[in-house]
Structure 1
Amino acid sequence: MYVLTCIIIAIGLPLTLVAIYALYSMARSDHVAPIYVINLLITDLIQLCCMIVEVVPTVDEIISLVFYCIYLSALFASVYFMVCIALERYLVIAHPLWYRFGRTIKISAVVCVLVWILSLVFVILYYFFDYLVTDIIFVTFLLLPFPLLIFFLVGTIKALSATISVPSDEKRRIVGILVLVLLIYTLLFLPTIIWYIKDLNENYDEILDSLSFIFVQLSPLADSVLYVFMRKGTIDKLLASVCCCRMDSNDISRSSV
């Protein structure tokens, strides 16, 4: 697990910095920078920095505890910024008029501040309450986004089937983003929730503990993939490459026959 953490840091840190720089360049080019994605990448950067402290063997115990609390706060914030991204994509399709006229930078900034404050409150509660209460708080706060992400995905797909004003490539990009967000949450965070639930029932599972810890540490890498998918044309290029591979394989099979 120590080696795996070092590998995640070595890969995730430069990828996250490159993504943040790309978004910064987008903002300087008079484009509207996706504020939720920027905050999500900031949480990833904080997590990776805390991982660096974790793998240093000579860190004081108090410093290690402080950085662990910071790591939990950033992890919690990253989950809810993914919910904000899914909500934004849902509003683009299901409520386009409200999104066009009601969405402002001020509202987005207020939502980001609320997420950061909520994550800080979570860490304070996690630190000051006893073991049983902290587990219940952790499971509750991490499980809340699951029905929301499913609702945004289903609602977006229903709205897309009824609209004709959205181009097909934009439809694929929006659905792809929502599916990827749900997959990241399901694959990387649900094992941790399951482990905490089993721990509440005094049914400790060492293998599930290790796997859930590894999956959670992979979240910064998964968020980098999410940023790539949010760029225009990425999903179309991916689908085009898959189609080309299928056509080439069909041509080979026909020529062999």
Structure 2
Amino acid sequence: MEGLYVTSSSQNQSYHHNYTTADYQNNSNITSNYQNNNELNELYFILNVVTCIIVAVGLPLTLVAIYALYSMVRSDQVAPIYVINLLISDILQFCCMIVDVTPNVDWTIIFIFYHIYFSALFASVYFMVCISLERYLVIAHPLWYRCRRTIKTSVVLCVLVWFLSAVSAVLSKFSNHMMTFILFPILLLPPFPLLIFSLVGTLKALSASISVPSDEKRRIVGILVLVLLIYTLLFLPIIIWLLAIKHDQTLKYQSTIFIRLSPLADLFLYVLMRKGTKEKLLASVCCCRMDSNDISSPSV
């Protein structure tokens, strides 16, 4: 689990010390370990810089997105509830990243935020599953979903996701090192087939649907494809690293950067959830082009 939440360089040094103590008995291994430590320090520095950029860009944008999506919930739309909870989990991840890059933090605070981070990480994955399955049910089983589509049901499901995510983080605390490496993929791999099932099932249902407008079809497919891409590109690398027999430390830091980019990628879901956002952006661009053409054209 250290591969996802790096708290300090001293923690990394102690982590590697357990595996490399015996190698210090000869000079060649000392040189090799020294070079490896320099490389890991560079990767740790890059990780901190990237994390600071992610937090500086993503935190204010996520707060704005949550505020904007709240108006959609008041208009009795269910899907934004899952997106709002997804963005809330992103905010928790941003807060934990801030603690991670802050020097001289008390270990008690680090310990608390360590488990908050994993709870938010698990929650973000399963809220992506909720979004995909909700889109699938809207298209494939509209009558069944319409009868059971209530904000109360969605709130109960969100509470359940948060509870299970907290339990997963607590389980990681009581697991030993090897069990943690097994537990994490077990918890994060099941969403993968569910995301694929939602996309394939929705595509089949849309191909036979006549009542759904073409713009709405593109928007729904775009949401499902984006969710699957976020999971595949940003979450699968850390799962592959955990399942690998030999845990390469360079891959560890690279996959950590990928997974920390996931809150930024979630903001694109907000763009797709907002109807007319693309049209507004295109209209703004067209207006800017018309204004520039009016300025550049000579007056008669």
Task: Assess same fold via TM > 0.5.
Answer: yes
Q: What code does the residue aligned with 2:77 have?
A: V
Q: How much has 1:24 moved relative to structure 2?
A: 2.3
Pick the aligned partner of 2:260 from 214, 217, 229. 217
CA gap 1:239/1:25 in 2 versus in 1, 3 angstroms: closer
Could you report, residue by residue, the CA deviation over 1:3-26 in whole angstroms, capped at 9, with x for unpaired residues? 111000000001101001111233
Q: Given the alignment of the two structures, is residue 56 of structure 1 paired with residue 102 of structure 2, yes or no?
A: yes
CA contact (8 A) 2:73 2:81 kept: no
CA contact (8 A) 1:69 1:123 kept: yes
CA contact (8 A) 2:136 2:202 kept: yes
Structure 1 CA distance, aligned partners of 2:70 and 2:199? 28
Q: Which moved more, 1:33-42 or 1:209-218?
A: 33-42
Q: Secondary structure at the match of 2:104?
A: coil
Q: What code does the residue aligned with 2:86 have?
A: L
Q: What code does the residue aligned with 1:89 have?
A: R
Q: How much has 1:31 moved relative to structure 2?
A: 4.5
After the TM superposition, which residues 163-242 of structure 1 pair with which residues of structure 2 at under 5 Å, given as runs?
Answer: 163-198=209-244, 201=245, 203-234=246-277
Q: Given the alignment of the two structures, is residue 92 of structure 1 paired with residue 138 of structure 2, yes or no?
A: yes
Aligned length: 237
Give the aligned partner of residue 173 of structure 2: 127
Structure 2 CA distance, aligned partners of 1:235 and 1:84? 24
Give the aligned partner of residue 32 of structure 1: 77
Give the aligned partner of residue 59 of structure 2: 13
Q: What code does the residue aligned with 2:199 have?
A: L
Give 5+ residue unaligned stretches, structure 1.
242-257
Q: How much has 1:39 moved relative to structure 2?
A: 0.4
Give the aligned partner of residue 10 of structure 2: none
Give the root-mean-square deviation of aligned CA atoms: 1.8
Q: What's the % identity of the aligned pairs?
A: 70
Q: Secondary structure at the match of 1:189?
A: helix
Give the aligned partner of residue 23 of structure 1: 69
TM-score, normalised to structure 1, is: 0.88
Could you report, residue by residue, the CA deviation over 1:121-174 in whole angstroms, capped at 9, with x for unpaired residues? 101110011111111110011111000000000000000011101111000000
Structure 2 CA distance, aligned partners of 1:239 and 1:145? 34
CA contact (8 A) 2:83 2:269 kept: no
Q: How much has 1:236 moved relative to structure 2?
A: 6.4
Q: How much has 1:238 moved relative to structure 2?
A: 8.2
Could you report, residue by residue, the CA deviation over 1:73-124 in whole angstroms, capped at 9, with x for unpaired residues? 0011000000000000000100000111111112111111110111011011
TM-score, normalised to structure 2, is: 0.76
Give the aligned partner of residue 46 of structure 1: 92
CA gap 1:237/1:179 in 2 versus in 1, 3 angstroms: farther
CA contact (8 A) 1:189 1:215 kept: yes
Give 5+ residue unaligned stretches, structure 2.
1-46, 285-300
CA contact (8 A) 1:81 1:115 kept: yes
CA contact (8 A) 1:169 1:236 kept: no
Give the aligned partner of residue 73 of structure 1: 119
Structure 2 CA distance, aligned partners of 1:143 and 1:120? 18
Q: What code does the residue aligned with 2:129 have?
A: V
